[in-house]
Structure 1
Amino acid sequence: LTMKVSEEVVMPRISIRVLAYSESGEKLGDETFFLTLKIPPVGPLPPKREWISRDYVLKLLRERKLRAIYGVRSKEVGDLIILSHVITCPAKVSLVIEVERVADVYEATAKFTMENLLLDKISQVQGTIASIPKMGDSRVVIEVRFDKPLSVDEVEKSIELKELPDNVELEAEYEVEESE
């Protein structure tokens, strides 16, 4: 049984009465079924919070849909220095570098982890951080967390978005339209 429900229906539960007759006209059955509808909420959808590209954040800013930014992340160790120069708000850095095949030995691995380092202290460990990936095949995750979420007004004062490397992602909260 297929039933098309018009958009005007506002009841979450609809009763459907099905009558069955034979070819000769004899009544074979009479049963009522209930169809439960999922009615979308009325009003705006809740904001979405996720990691998105720098270019998408710029688009959301232009469209006035951006609500806040919580942090920045990258998978390139070289981005760390750039991030420390273009982000001017108080923030802390977490960095994980995993190195495999240290000195071309397949079994040799190393892991460098740094948590809650103030962003303005990055220059003091810059040489050490830059040399670690040279030991072997590395995977890098840099995450900069702002001490407090940046509102739209604060974003333009605290981050030079256009100066961020293309490959970074920002954790952003933004307004969602129904088609998204």
Structure 2
Amino acid sequence: MVILGIDPGLANTGWGIVEERFGEVRCRAYGCIQTSAGSGLSVRLRHIADDLAQVVARYHPGEASIESVYFGANVRSAIPTAHARGAALVACSLAGVEVGEYTPMQIKQAVVGTGAADKAQVTYMVRNLLRLDHDPKPDHAADALACAICHAHLRRTDLLSAGAFVQEKGNPYA
């Protein structure tokens, strides 16, 4: 299964493509979509949606995952992120790609083992879980890969716990 992970942001939207086969997750590609602060909101959102549509067309993910918006102390910064997240969701929806949504804590828990992990710990574990010889850069791409890894792990856990692995034709876990 090819999975697209998305770390939404208006200035920088990270994306990562992983492939999960027989319980192993491997990196296929990653990158970051940057938009100019000097451009209007609609132009920036269109840029995010168009670039993600190109990623989907190139790598043909079967599913996608996206980080949910964390409102924390600064709601003002969460609004542009929510806009970028909407553009990403539309790009996936138009391509017929189903999207799983995960909180930052869920992603950190799935990748590092604790929801309190910092960025350096997440990047370290992404590098090791995907057997990369370098840290994925920028951080937004590493976060997107972490989101995709989270989806792969939780998807596999759901399949195993539901017993669906026995019934799902062609599933490597059967």
The bucket for the TM-score relative to the shorter chain is under 0.3
Which one has a larger percent helix, Structure 1 or Structure 2? 2
Q: Which entry has the higher C-alpha Rg, 1 or 2? A: 1
Task: Point out the structure with the larger strand share.
Answer: 1
TM-score, structure 1 normalization = 0.24
